[in-house]
Chains A and B, each alone.
Chain A
Amino acid sequence: MKIYGITTESSFVLPNIATSTIESLLDDTGTTKGAVVHYTQGDKGKVHHWVQRIRQHPHPRIYLMPLALIYEGEKPPTLLQKQFDECVSVTQLNSASSTKSALFERVGQWLDRIPNLDNNSSDSSIPFKILRLMASRNKGLEPILTPSNNRGFVYPAIEPMFERSDDSPITSLDFLHRQQFLGRDFFKRAHFCPICESAFLNFIETCPDCAAENLTKEELVHHFKCGHVDNLSHFERHNQLVCPKCDERLKHIGVDYDKPSIVYQCKQCTLQFQDPLLKVQCYSCESVSNIDDVSVEDIYVYQLSAIGLNAALYGLDALFTSILQTDLQLFSNREFKSFIHIEKARISRYKKSTSCVATIYFENLDSLFHRLGKRTEQLFKEISAVFKSVFRESDVISALNESVFVILMTETSEENANLALNRLKNAIQDLFEASLAKELSVGILTRVHRIDSASDLNLMLENALKVEEK
Chain B
Amino acid sequence: MSLAGLFAFVQNLTFAQVLAYFWPFFLLDMLRYVIIESLLIFKFLFRRKRRQQRRALARHQLFSERPVVSIIVPGKNEGKHISALANSLSQQTYNNFELIIVDDGSDDNTALICRHLLKQGKIDRFFRNEVRGGKASGANTALRFSKGKFIIHIDADSHLAADAIEQILLPFYLDETVGAVGGDVRVANENASFATRLQTIEYIKTISAGRVAASELGILRIISGAHGAFKREVLEQIYGWDVGPGLDGDITLKIRKLGYRVVHAVHAVCYTNVPSKFSSLRKQRYRWDRSLVRFRLRKHVNMLAPASNFRSSSFFSIIENIVFNVFFDFKWIVYVIYMLYTAPHYLGYVFIINYFLYFLANIVQFIIARALIAPSYYSADGLTPFFLPLMPFYTGLYLRAVRTYAYLMEFLHKTSYDDPWNPWKVSRIAKKEKL
Which residues of A are interface residues toward B (Cβ below 8 A)?
220, 222, 224-231, 244-246, 254-256, 258-261, 263, 272-275
Contacts and interface: CB of A to CB of B under 8 A. Distances in A.
Given A224-B429, A226-B243, A260-B131, A272 B145 contact: yes
Nearest to B430: A225
B129 A226 contact: no
A222 B126 contact: no
B207 to A, nearest CB: 25
A272 to B, nearest CB: 6
Contacts of A273: 125
Given A222-B133, A227-B134, A274-B128, A260 B240 contact: no
Given A226-B243, A228-B140, A256 B429 contact: yes
A338 to B, nearest CB: 60
A224 B426 contact: yes
A227 B127 contact: no
B144 interface: yes
Contacts of A222: 129, 131, 133, 137, 140-141
Interface string B178-214: 0000000000000000000000000000000000000
B interface secondary structure, majority: mixed
B216 interface: no
A270 to B, nearest CB: 10
B15 to A, nearest CB: 54
Given A226-B243, A254-B425, A260-B130, 8 more contacts: A222-B137, A222-B141, A224-B426, A224-B430, A227-B137, A228-B239, A256-B429, A272-B145
A277 B132 CA distance: 25
B115 interface: yes
B129 A224 contact: no
Contact of B105 (A228, A255, A260, A274): A260
19 contacts: A224-B429, A225-B429, A226-B239, A226-B242, A227-B426, A228-B240, A229-B137, A245-B240, A258-B425, A260-B141, A261-B128, A261-B129, A261-B130, A261-B131, A263-B127, A273-B125, A274-B126, A274-B128, A275-B118
B435 interface: yes
A258 B243 contact: no
The 4 closest A-B pairs by CB, nearest first: A227-B136, A260-B129, A245-B239, A229-B140
Nearest to A274: B127
A231 B137 CA distance: 13
B241 interface: yes
B176 interface: no
B425 A227 contact: no
Interface in B148-165: none
Contacts of B137: 222, 227, 229, 260
Nearest to A208: B118
A73 to B, nearest CB: 54
Given A261-B128, A275-B115, A229 B133 contact: yes
A258 B429 contact: no
A219 to B, nearest CB: 11
Contacts, number: 79
Contacts of A231: 144
Nearest to B115: A275
Contacts of B140: 222, 227-229
Contacts of A256: 429
B379 to A, nearest CB: 38
A72 to B, nearest CB: 58
A277 to B, nearest CB: 10
Contacts of B145: 263, 272
A220 B433 CA distance: 23
A244 B140 CA distance: 13
A244 B238 CA distance: 11
A254 B130 CA distance: 13
A275 B112 CA distance: 12
A252 to B, nearest CB: 11
B141 A220 contact: yes
Interface in B97-134: 105, 115, 118, 125-134
A353 B103 CA distance: 83
Contacts of B430: 224-225
A229 B429 contact: no
Contacts of B105: 260
Interface string B403-435: 000000000000000000000011001100101
B136 A230 contact: no
B121 to A, nearest CB: 11
B203 to A, nearest CB: 28
B127 A261 contact: yes
A260 B425 CA distance: 13
Nearest to B140: A229
Given A222-B129, A261-B127, A261-B128, A227 B241 contact: yes
Nearest to B135: A227
A372 to B, nearest CB: 54
B115 A227 contact: no
Looking at A226, A263, A272, which has the most chain B CB atoms within 10 Å of its CB?
A226
